[in-house]
Chain A
Amino acid sequence: MNFIAFVEGPLVWIAFLTFLLGSALRLLLFFTLSSKKDKPVYRFFNLKWMLLSIARWLFPANVDLKKNPIFASLGYIFHICLLAVPLFYSAHLMLWEESRFKWSWWTMPDHWADWMTLTLLAIALFFIIRRIVLPGVRIITTPSDYLLIVICALPFLTGYINTHPDGLSYQWITSALPIYGQYGTTIHIMSGALMLIVVPFTKLSHWVLFFVSRAVTGMEFGRRNYPV
């Protein structure tokens, strides 16, 4: 099997499985340890406070939007783009349709995908600059925080370049890195795979643990009879 075939076949499988099983394992680890060491979580379990807390923060119905409107809004937009483009981009859907699953769902117009991709990249750049500029954020920033922004942005950057072969970005990259012309798609897939693979091992595991953490804190304040 040559390299390209490996990336397009097994690597994609490995990435998806690592992402899904790894995330499931994170949850499982939480529940096994917490059943021994976090008994109050179960003792004061309350569906109402749990769901309220999750909903308030999953949707823009929380206090941070008032306190830091710009950063909080950009955070929401970033996450929406991050999820929507890979899930609903038409060319991705074609791959799902052609796959053994033959799955198909709604796709977004391609110019939406373009704009959302550019938006995400711009916000990613803003996040990096913000980390450098604001002392209060810089002090808690670790190298991995920068690295993860880059890892998340890469699939979008390469995706944009690849889908615009007549654009400036494509010309720049192929002149700087001639093999890109041949390996563009492979690099794009690899960057996507990398992003999926790191999720369970980094703070990106918050895509599942967000729900757990919000639930725990929502219920803790729910004992005081008000939602957070």
Chain B
Amino acid sequence: MSEDQYPEITISPEAIKQAVSTRMNARLKMWTRICAHCGLCADSCHFYLAKNKDPRMVPSFKAQKLKELVRKKGRVDENYLQSLYDIAFGDCTVCRRCTMYCPFGIDMAVMVSTIRSILTSQGVAPKGLQDAIKNYQESGNQMAISEEDWVETLQWMEEELQDELPGATIPIDKKGARIMYTVNAREPKFYPQDIQLAAKLFHVVGEDWTLPSKMGWDDTNLAMFAGDAKTAGHIVQLIYDRAVELDVQYVAITECGHAFRSVAFEGPVWLGKDYPFKVVHSVELFAQYIREGRLEFDRKITEPITYQDPCNVSRNGGLADTARYIIKHIAEDFREMEPHGNHNFCCSGGGGAIPMGPPFKRRRMEAGKVKADQIKATGAKIVICPCHNCYDQVNDLNKEYNLGIKVKSFKEIFEEIMHIPEELKAQEEEDLGEGK
């Protein structure tokens, strides 16, 4: 059943055939050939489990559509494209969990991404992603925020922050800083507080950091989820250029999963070169601060806490243990979901499902039942999500399934319990005292 009609296109068999053949590399050909159709991947997928073991949700079924597509040699009709569109964009969040359970290590998420890529090349992609791609191409960020608005937001956040921590700044374009921080475009647009929290943290730990004023500050990459490698590479190139201009040692990624994956792991592939800087996710950076004793806490959170391993931070980012190192320092009553870590279930908001917008919402609520049940079973009251998409999705699940939880990023938890040395704080009380 189709949720969303794909945008109208004229089908060009020749173009489709071409799009397929240029994308079929040796790995994909091997994977279409050797799949044993054993079904061991079936119950590794949250869509399969949430939809009462609907056979159409078996990962191999979705991934091997690629084989069918190769065989068709471009001879497809609208119904077929619609069914591929539903499968590739609607029934899979390319979370890569199934990959870990295939005896051959067949990377079904990569195969589904390839189907997405072929579809996108023909204009068959969710409007939410297509709009984002256009925004990236024109403005360098997914929400078409102008440079002026971006810089203004930073200045506004800096002023507000200084009320609390007089010496705190949001350094823009500071050459030679240790890290260049990059954010999700959602932050300046809807949650400027997030940038303020980061700035506050950086001030407290004494980080030497900066943000670029020009394109390259948005680290998200929805073009990756659409399979548009050209735009995806362009986005990472912008970040690369800013980091080189500012001559930083690290590019730090905000609490966002796919942004980290795209810059740290896919970027070097798209650009075909290594970086002269290192890429760190916030989770890694925060853990570093704790390890070095720069970030300390006045207390631990006593309410039961669980952790949502974002697929692109844990499984696809390698930071599962690092996150737990942080949690050890902030939570008194930490409860793991089962399964967790690299084997976590996707929240169902990944793979671009959230930016794909309302037409895909029912699907992600349905598939998210697995995550909702996992959260419920922990009895936790707080769910930490160091990923913007997980954050939104778990919030939506909270409403849909009445979980009675609060969703928080690490920064939001730090805000509550972080130790701030007296000398950094505004001296309000004293001033008042003198005036009396």
B72 contacts A by Cβ under 8 Å: no
Number of A-B contacts (CB under 8 A): 122
Chain A residues with CB under 8 A of B34: 203, 205-206, 209-210, 213
Please determine whether B105 and A214 come into contact, CB atoms closer than 8 angstroms. Answer: yes
Please determine whether A136 and B342 come into contact, CB atoms closer than 8 angstroms. Answer: no
**A67-B101, A72-B40, A214-B105 known; A139 vs B31 contact (CB < 8 Å):** no
Please determine whether B40 and A64 come into contact, CB atoms closer than 8 angstroms. Answer: yes
Q: Please measure, in the bound complex, the distance between the C-alpha atom of A71 and the C-alpha atom of B254, giving whole angstroms.
A: 42
Q: Tell me the nearest residue of chain B to A142, going by C-beta.
A: B37
Please determine whether B55 and A224 come into contact, CB atoms closer than 8 angstroms. Answer: no
B244 contacts A by Cβ under 8 Å: no
**A34-B26, A216-B27, A224-B316 known; A136 vs B55 contact (CB < 8 Å):** yes
Most buried by B among A39, A210, A224: A224
Please determine whether B25 and A34 come into contact, CB atoms closer than 8 angstroms. Answer: yes
Within B172-211, the residues touching A (CB, 8 Å) are none
Chain A residues with CB under 8 A of B25: 33-34, 37-38
A171 contacts B by Cβ under 8 Å: no
Chain A residues with CB under 8 A of B42: 136-137
B359 contacts A by Cβ under 8 Å: no
Chain A residues with CB under 8 A of B56: 139
Please determine whether B105 and A216 come into contact, CB atoms closer than 8 angstroms. Answer: yes
From A37, A134, A210, A223, contact of B104 by CB (8 A): A210
Chain B residues with CB under 8 A of A178: none
Chain B residues with CB under 8 A of A71: 38, 40
Chain B residues with CB under 8 A of A41: 27
Q: Mark A196-218, 1 if CB is under 8 A from B, else 0.
A: 00000001011001101110111
Please determine whether A223 and B39 come into contact, CB atoms closer than 8 angstroms. Answer: no
A191 contacts B by Cβ under 8 Å: no
B265 contacts A by Cβ under 8 Å: yes
A145 contacts B by Cβ under 8 Å: yes
B91 contacts A by Cβ under 8 Å: no
A140 contacts B by Cβ under 8 Å: yes
Please determine whether A217 and B99 come into contact, CB atoms closer than 8 angstroms. Answer: yes
Q: Please measure, in the bound complex, the distance between the C-alpha atom of A225 and the C-alpha atom of B100, giving whole angstroms.
A: 15
B60 contacts A by Cβ under 8 Å: yes
Q: Please measure, in the bound complex, the distance between the C-alpha atom of A218 and the C-alpha atom of B107, giving whole angstroms.
A: 11
A228 contacts B by Cβ under 8 Å: yes
B residues neighboring A (CB under 8 Å): 25-27, 29-31, 33-40, 42-44, 48, 53, 55-56, 58, 60-61, 64, 99-101, 103-107, 265, 269, 272, 315-318, 320, 342-343
Nearest 10 interchain pairs by C-beta: A217-B105, A224-B318, A34-B26, A37-B25, A137-B39, A139-B55, A33-B26, A136-B42, A206-B34, A140-B37
A residues neighboring B (CB under 8 Å): 29-31, 33-34, 37-41, 53, 57, 62-64, 67-68, 71-72, 75, 134-142, 145, 203, 205-206, 209-210, 212-214, 216-218, 220-221, 223-226, 228
